[in-house]
């Protein structure tokens, strides 16, 4: 795509910023499938963008600036998002300056849809939303949040959910080519302990199972994505998440989710973010054909001239990597 910043900003970018964007684009070209037109594909992504809120209108925010997210960080975020058709974003905050600047930069064919700010301490004043390219995918009519029926709260059992979700999962349906698909994005409350996340994950898995059966009965595809705050594959949180048959593509089982994960992290700790769907059951499995999946590692390419540590970079981009999945979506 063309430079994803208004021309006066792109023209004024320091040489170091232009160089790092050239390197980032080359990496994206090499690792993310291009948007195909003739043999149509569908590129879906999820990204927890840390405290996606306001913006310091400088190319590089200084130590005294607040927030630390600056033009060069937002330029990189915008470039990454532009490579996908629909992307679920977690941790959108009350202040929308960065989001609105990004949307203007992406251009008039891009839209967003999001929840209101979640109140309460556990809600962390967060919104959840979707950003999408209307030349590739459009809304198909459904938008809603998951609220647990009162009679299902307080059930007997150690893993029973005792309260409503801290941040309610957000479901939106889209149309791309001949396919209709519903995306459910969520950000599980990290809480005080991993055990405290099990009831929420189990309740979500059970609800997704019921809704997938209903959605797929009408020929719709159903995909769950977001930050599930799972510590590692195979742990109790993972077992709760997959308890009703949700499956993550194998290609995502070996990629890092957090920029703080060790390079030799064979245990894949910090296994937070997921894209998952049902592959079994006639009434709930996908109609679309899965092609490929991966993540975007932006760390090696950005702020290198400043020598910033990951602890600094997380506030300018994020502490999470974006995950993506590609599907065959012929007209």
Domain assignment present for 2? no
pLDDT of residue 126: 87
Poorest-pLDDT segment among 110-124, 232-246, 302-316: 110-124
Mean predicted confidence (pLDDT) in 70-82: 96
* Domain span at 308: 7-328
pLDDT of residue 39: 81
DSSP letter for 7, please: H
Poorest-pLDDT segment among 67-76, 236-245, 260-269: 260-269
pLDDT at 274 over 90: yes
Three-state DSSP class for residue 279 = coil
* Residue bearing the bigger pLDDT, 285 or 247: 247
pLDDT digits (tens, 9 = 90+) for 120-153: 555 567 899 999 999 999 999 888 887 766 666 5
Pick from 131, 28, 39: nearest CA to 86: 131
Q: Specify the residue for token string 């209903």.
A: 214
Q: For residue 123, give Cα distances in angstroms to 60, 113, 151, 202, 287.
A: 30, 19, 23, 19, 34
pTM surpassing 0.75?
Answer: yes
- Round to whole Å and give the CA distance between 45 and 22: 22
Burial class (CB in 10 A: 0-12, 13-18, 19+), 266: exposed
Domain assignment present for 46? yes
Domain assignment present for 94? yes
- When mean pLDDT is compared over 3-7, 147-151, 231-235, 315-319, the highest value belongs to 315-319
Confidence bin at 189 (pLDDT 50/70/90): confident
Q: What is the mean pLDDT of the chain?
A: 87
Task: Tell me how long the chain is.
Answer: 331
pLDDT at 280 over 70: yes
Domain assignment present for 19? yes
Confidence bin at 328 (pLDDT 50/70/90): very high
pLDDT at 299 over 70: yes
- Round to whole Å and give the CA distance between 230 and 246: 14
pLDDT digits (tens, 9 = 90+) for 213-222: 876 666 689 9
Q: How many domains does the chain have?
A: 1
Domain assignment present for 1? no
Domain assignment present for 236? yes
CATH code of residue 252: 3.60.10.10
Region at 303 (left for phi over 0; alpha for psi -120 to 50; beta for the rest): left
pLDDT of residue 206: 86
Mean predicted confidence (pLDDT) in 97-104: 95
* Residue bearing the bigger pLDDT, 309 or 214: 309
- Round to whole Å and give the CA distance between 278 and 242: 10
- When mean pLDDT is compared over 26-30, 175-179, 221-225, 258-262, the highest value belongs to 26-30
Pick from 174, 171, 112, 182: nearest CA to 145: 171
pLDDT of residue 156: 36
């Amino acid at each position: 795509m063309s430079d994803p910043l208004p021309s006066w900003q792109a023209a004024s970018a320091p040489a170091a910023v232009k160089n790092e964007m050239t390197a980032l684009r080359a990496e994206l070209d090499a690792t993310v499938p291009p948007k195909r037109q003739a043999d149509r594909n569908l590129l879906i992504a999820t990204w927890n963008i840390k405290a996606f809120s306001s913006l310091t209108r400088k190319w590089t925010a200084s130590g005294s600036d607040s927030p630390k997210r600056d033009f060069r960080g937002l330029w990189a975020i915008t470039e990454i998002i532009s490579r996908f058709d629909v992307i679920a974003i977690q941790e959108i905050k009350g202040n929308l300056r960065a989001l609105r600047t990004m949307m203007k930069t992406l251009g008039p064919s891009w839209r967003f849809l999001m929840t209101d700010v979640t109140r309460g301490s556990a809600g962390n004043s967060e919104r959840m939303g979707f950003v999408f390219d209307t030349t590739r995918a459009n809304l198909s009519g459904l938008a809603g949040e998951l609220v647990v029926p009162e009679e299902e709260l307080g059930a007997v059992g150690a893993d029973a959910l005792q309260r409503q979700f801290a941040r309610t999962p957000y479901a939106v349906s889209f149309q791309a080519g001949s396919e209709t698909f519903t995306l459910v994005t969520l950000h599980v409350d990290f809480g005080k302990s991993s055990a405290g996340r099990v009831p929420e994950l189990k309740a979500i898995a059970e609800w997704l199972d019921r809704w997938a059966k209903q959605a797929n009965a009408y020929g719709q595809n159903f995909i769950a994505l977001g930050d599930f705050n799972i510590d590692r594959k195979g742990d109790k949180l993972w077992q709760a998440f997959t308890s009703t048959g949700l499956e993550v593509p194998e290609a995502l089982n070996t990629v890092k989710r957090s920029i703080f994960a060790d390079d030799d992290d064979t245990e894949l700790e910090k296994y937070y973010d997921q894209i998952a769907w049902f592959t079994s059951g006639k009434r709930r499995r996908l109609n679309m054909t899965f092609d490929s999946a991966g993540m975007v590692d932006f760390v090696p390419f950005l702020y290198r001239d400043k020598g910033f540590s990951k602890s600094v970079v997380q506030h300018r981009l994020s502490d999470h990597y974006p995950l993506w999945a590609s599907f065959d979506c012929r007209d």
